[in-house]
């Protein structure tokens, strides 16, 4: 991938997309797949905010049934199956053990049983996966003794039983988002990270005909012109609308904070995701991931500027208190937290007092209703339904561009790098490929899952300098060649991009000074940094890794 902004020649686009998270990436792919000329700009890096701050789940939203949102649940379950199909190396079925108790009415096993039956009914097509290994069974009900046998570290006096149902894990949301970006580029879209929208361009009638952007590396200004501009900036959507029409846009965006903590402490068996309901009626999960446990998420209103959001120690302690008082033996403490991450969710309704009860539906809004012709704003939504959101958004775009409706193809084609018909056969063949016999099985499996059909290109880079680029950096078997590949082929422009979004080197927490130094030196060579710039990048990455004390 190449940043088009560095060689922009004044091309007029059908669609300009602001925002490089999963929503913008999905819209760009949908538009490009329909033959439209597309430009996407992101002020930081792709998937650097909300799209990276997930629970690493692709799920139907079982709890939304309590709000009567059957349409949202059905759509989520359909899109869960689509993502299993088009991104087989990223999205995997996994059992969730939802533990019941008698303390919270909505967690009563008989009420949950009704919900599970409806969930199974709404996911009637869950067996229609391209790869048979991705098919999801119906739920089961377990007794209290069975629960404690499966998960002996749960409080013995707490569960009355459990329901076991399946949703999907998303092993790397950042790279899955990148797969949508790459798919858009392969279909003809032009993309650029570190390109900030600073203003809109208006014609004499007051309609938006483009955006003024600043390329942040060279600090160069450009004007991009297009027929339709789509605001896909999530929790920043109202800030973009302020540029278009200060104080006169008709949107009510609310934000909620969700944080997660990662611990290596052995809290669960690792065979199931554990779901629980707190005494206040809020769900949280304990999710096995890379031999660690992710705990989350929280859901609290956030009223500050989105650029100023940061995780606090108070938020971490509140989450730990909920976990200790609900499921475990009360032994997990602040010192057990290896890493913490979080982000802001954009919510579109204000009818509920608590963000936890707010809908995760999305809204596609034609801003011409507010007198801002040429602009569409997408708000709300969830990671799982982003592809469907994009499909719905393009219906409006086609109408506004007076183009005939064309059937979507994004649910029928593998994402870029994910062209794998049988995942188990692919993993077996790659791990046993004699060409890569000098690499560990851990390295080959990790690359096969996270890079799919691109893994050979990563390993070929490693063979350029095996003593350096093939050395394993962590227990997963990640190698320095990934950093080179990130810079050369995946538009990584900073150390943070490589550590957190192109690889998993820092997503479990601080990998240590030695690893940081090695990765920084490789990236510095690829990007021609001097020593001062490299030191600056290491300092910034170290700050990102700090747990708030």
- The rounded radius of gyration (Å) of the Cα atoms in the chain is 23
Copy the structure tokens of residue 188.
């003809």
Terminal-to-terminal C-alpha distance of the chain? 39
State the pLDDT confidence band at 349, using cuts at 50, 70 and 90: low
Residue 428 has pLDDT above 50, yes or no: yes
Residue with tokens 């077996």: 428
- Separation CA 106–CA 325 (nearest Å): 18
Q: Are 267 and 324 in contact (CB under 8 A)?
A: no
Strand partners, 41: 18, 192
pLDDT at 409: 98
pLDDT digits (tens, 9 = 90+) for 160-193: 899 999 999 999 999 999 999 999 999 999 999 9
DSSP H helices in 19-168: 22-33, 70-86, 109-122, 144-150
This prediction has a pTM of 0.96
pLDDT confidence of residue 351: 41
CA 319 to chain CA mean position, Å: 21
pLDDT of 251 > 90? The answer is: no
CA separation for the pair 463, 399 (Å, rounded): 51
Q: Which domains does the chain have, with CATH numbers?
A: 4-50+174-252+360-400 (3.50.50.60), 92-169+254-357 (3.30.9.10), 423-545 (1.10.8.870)
Residue 165 CA, distance from chain mean position: 22
- Which residues on neighbouring strands pair with residue 98, listed in sequence order? 163, 275
Task: For CA atoms 342, 501, 492, 221, give the dihedral sign.
Answer: negative
Alpha carbon distance 133, 115 (integer Å): 25
Q: Is the pLDDT of residue 549 over 50?
A: yes
Dump pLDDT digits (tens) for 18-41: 999 999 999 999 999 999 999 999
Torsions phi, psi for 191 (to 5 deg)? -130, 155
Cis peptide preceding 297, ω within 30 of 0: yes
What integer pLDDT is reported at residue 234 of this predicted model? Answer: 95
Among 124, 113, 129, 127, which residue's Cα sits nearest to residue 165? 113
Residue 169 pairs in a beta bridge with 57, 92
Residues paired with residue 222 on neighbouring β-strands, in sequence order: 213
Name the band, by pLDDT with cuts 50, 70 and 90, for residue 108.
Answer: confident
pLDDT at residue number 410: 98
For residue 403, give every residue at least 6 positions away whose Cβ sits within 8 Å of its Cβ, in sequence order, or none: none
pLDDT at 106: 72
Question: For residues 524 and 533, is the Cβ–Cβ distance under 8 A?
Answer: yes
Choose the weakest-confidence range: 83-87, 343-347, 401-405, 478-482.
343-347
Task: Give the mean pLDDT of 522-542.
Answer: 98
DSSP of 471-528, one letter per residue? -B-STT--BTHHHHHHHHHS---SHHIIIIIISSTTTTS---HHHHHHHHHHHHHHHT
Whole-number pLDDT of residue 381: 84
pLDDT tops 50 at residue 357: no
Which tokens is 480 given?
A: 């320095």
Quickly state the pLDDT bin for 356 (edges 50, 70, 90): very low
What is the model's pLDDT at position 545?
97
Distance between CA 67 and CA 142 in Å, rounded?
25
pLDDT at 522 over 50: yes
pLDDT at res. 487 = 98
**Average pLDDT of the chain, as a whole number:** 93
Q: What is the tens place of the pLDDT at every residue in 288-342?
A: 999 999 999 999 999 999 999 999 999 999 999 999 888 876 679 999 999 999 9
The two three-digit tokens of residue 10, written as one number: 């004044």
Instruction: For residue 133, count other CB atoms closer than 10 A to its CB.
Output: 13
Of the listed ranges 109-113, 462-466, 531-535, the least confidently predicted one is 109-113
Centre a 10 Å sphere on the Cβ of residue 429 and count the other Cβ atoms it contains. Answer: 11
Give yes or no for residue 281 having a pLDDT over 90.
Answer: no
């Amino acid at each position: 991938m190449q940043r088009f902004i560095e060689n922009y020649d004044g091309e007029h686009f059908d669609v300009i997309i602001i925002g490089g998270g999963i929503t913008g990436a999905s819209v760009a792919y949908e538009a490009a797949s329909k033959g439209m000329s597309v430009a996407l700009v992101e002020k930081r890096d792709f998937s650097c905010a909300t799209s990276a701050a997930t629970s690493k789940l692709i799920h139907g939203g079982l709890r939304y049934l309590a709000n009567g949102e059957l349409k949202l649940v059905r759509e989520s379950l359909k899109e869960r199956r689509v993502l299993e199909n088009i991104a087989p190396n990223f999205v995997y079925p996994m059992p969730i053990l939802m533990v019941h108790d008698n303390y919270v009415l909505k967690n009563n096993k008989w009420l949950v049983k009704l919900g599970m039956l409806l969930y199974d009914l709404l996911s009637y097509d869950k067996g229609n996966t391209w790869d048979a290994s991705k098919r999801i069974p119906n739920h089961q009900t377990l007794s209290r003794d069975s629960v404690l046998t499966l998960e002996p570290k749960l409080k013995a006096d707490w569960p009355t039983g459990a329901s076991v149902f399946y949703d999907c894990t998303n092993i790397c949301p950042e790279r899955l988002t990148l797969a949508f970006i790459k798919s858009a580029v392969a279909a003809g879209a032009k993309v650029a990270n570190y390109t900030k929208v600073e203003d809109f361009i208006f014609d004499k009638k007051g309609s938006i005909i483009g955006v003024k952007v600043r390329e942040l590396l060279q600090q160069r200004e450009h004007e991009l012109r297009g027929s339709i501009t789509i605001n896909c900036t999530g929790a920043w959507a109202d800030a973009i609308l302020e540029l278009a029409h200060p104080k006169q846009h008709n949107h009510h965006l609310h934000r909620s904070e969700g944080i997660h903590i990662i611990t290596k402490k052995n809290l669960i068996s690792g065979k199931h995701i554990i779901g629980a309901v707190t005494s206040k009626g809020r769900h949280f999960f304990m999710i096995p991931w890379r031999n660690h446990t992710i705990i989350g998420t929280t859901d609290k209103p956030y009223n500050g500027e989105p650029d100023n959001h940061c995780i606090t120690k108070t938020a971490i302690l509140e989450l730990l208190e909920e976990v200790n008082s609900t499921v475990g033996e009360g032994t997990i403490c602040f010192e057990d937290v290896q890493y913490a991450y979080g982000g802001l969710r954009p919510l579109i309704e204000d009818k509920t007092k608590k963000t936890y009860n707010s809908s995760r539906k999305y809204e596609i809004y034609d801003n011409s209703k507010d007198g801002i012709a040429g602009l569409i704003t997408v708000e709300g939504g969830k990671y799982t339904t982003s592809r469907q959101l994009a499909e719905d958004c393009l219906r409006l775009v086609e109408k506004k561009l007076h183009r005939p409706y064309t059937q979507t193809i994004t649910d029928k084609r593998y994402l870029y790098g994910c062209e794998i018909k049988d995942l188990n056969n692919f993993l077996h063949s790659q791990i046993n490929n004699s060409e890569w016999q000098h690499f560990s099985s851990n390295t080959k499996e990790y690359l096969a899952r996270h890079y799919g059909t691109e893994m050979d290109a990563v390993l070929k880079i490693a063979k350029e300098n095996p003593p350096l680029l093939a050395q394993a950096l962590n227990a997963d078997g990640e190698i320095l060649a990934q950093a080179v590949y990130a810079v050369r082929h995946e538009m990584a422009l900073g150390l943070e991009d490589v550590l957190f979004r192109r690889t998993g080197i820092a997503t479990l927490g601080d990998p240590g000074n030695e690893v940081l130094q090695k990765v920084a030196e490789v990236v510095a060579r690829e990007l021609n940094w001097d020593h001062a710039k490299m030191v600056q990048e290491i300092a910034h990455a170290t700050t990102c890794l700090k747990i708030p004390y």
